[in-house]
Amino acid sequence: MRRLVRVVLWVVGVIAVLAVGGVVFWNVSPWPAVWLIRSAPDPAGLENADTAAKYVPGDIRSDLDVVYDRASADGRLDVFRPEDADAALPTVFWVHGGAFIAGEKEPLRSYLSVLASHGFTVVNVEYTHAPEAVYPTPIEQVDRAMTHVLAHADEFGVDPDRLVIAGDSAGAHIAAQATMAIAQPDYAARAGLPAAVAPDQVVGTVLFSGPYDPTSVNYDNETFGFFMRTVMWSYSGTRSFLQDDHFLYTALPEHVDPAYPPAFVSTGPADPLLTQNREWVEALEANDVDVTTLFFDASTTPDTVGHEYQLALDTPQAREAMVAQVAFLREVTGADMREGVSDGW
């Protein structure tokens, strides 16, 4: 099932019913539509992650709900790594999805434990949703999370010189922009974004099913356009987000340059954000960034392979994605070979 499409259609259907009664949802505030989206079945599209639980090996150490920012209720993170690791490991900071307005880190714990089994420390970062907090709050929170983890690198088994920033859906955008702020200091200065580490410490980024350019969305579309307008209004803090110069730094294809590190980009053919992912790849390649992609032929792929497809580890496409991202991570980090879950598939 196309989970993102299901959420969008559910929200639009409810809106259509209420509109008959003359209720206008989004002229004054994004909150009514946000409440609807949050009440939809699996609004973050993360339920597929449940399938990963059966694959988690018993030798993964989990440090859960580590506080990285005592000033925020959302300033928490999880850390996963193999228990037998006797040295600092390449480290992946992962940012979960949820359309910027929903989602939480907990559903990804099993999936990220599977990823950690291949010889990585994996950090699962929580952040504050919009509209409660607006851009660039999540970027700043990722920065604080990285700062905290690196300050405790010995405790968590982190190699500070082999870092990867990763994410899914909205988290892919947050991860991609946080990476850009670190890799491109001039961009960070213009956009007013923090950078927790030096550019050469981030050796890559892994991005699944992300939205990368708010300026390229068809907001006149009655279904997906309405959904994206609600999301961008919430995240930006203004209904006129396309006229907000500060927020337009989130149009990542317009700002990427050759300093951006190697990237892994993937989504499913049924994802409404497929075009955004392909255009992001085109922008990276146009700037001579080393890009590894995983896309699928729509004519031979089930229409269940869409947004966040990579989380459903019972499917061949998600397993292929795990194998491919692990291969990418091993290449960019130079990780020592440790046989993980997907090496047996």
Tens-binned pLDDT, residue by residue, of the chain (345 aa)? 455 656 555 555 555 544 543 345 557 899 999 999 899 888 777 888 899 999 999 999 999 999 999 999 999 999 999 999 999 999 999 999 999 999 999 999 999 999 999 999 999 999 999 999 999 999 999 999 999 999 999 999 999 999 999 999 999 999 999 999 999 999 999 999 999 999 999 999 999 999 999 999 999 988 899 899 999 999 999 999 999 999 999 999 999 999 999 999 999 999 999 999 999 999 999 999 999 999 999 999 999 999 999 999 999 999 999 999 999 999 999 999 999 999 999
Q: Which domains does the chain have, with CATH numbers?
A: 3-336 (3.40.50.1820)
Contact 156, 234 (CB under 8 A): no
pLDDT at residue number 3: 57
Residue from 214, 127, 201 nearest 171 by CA = 127
pLDDT at residue number 17: 47
The full 3-state SS of the chain, as one line of letters, equals: CCHHHHHHHHHHHHHHHHHHCCCCCCCCCCHHHHHHHHHCCCCCCCHHHHHHHHHCCCCEEEEEEEECCCCCCCCEEEEEEECCCCCCEEEEEEECCCCCCCCCCHHHHHHHHHHHCCCCEEEEECCCCCCCCCCCHHHHHHHHHHHHHHHCHHHHCEEEEEEEEEEECHHHHHHHHHHHHHHCHHHHHHHCCCCCCCHHHEEEEEEECCCCCHHHCCCCCCCHHHHHHHHHHHHHCCCCHHHCCCHHHHCHHHCCCCCCCCEEEECCCCCCCHHHHHHHHHHHHHCCCCEEEECCCHHHCCCCCCCCHHHCCCCHHHHHHHHHHHHHHHHHHCCCCCCCHHHHC
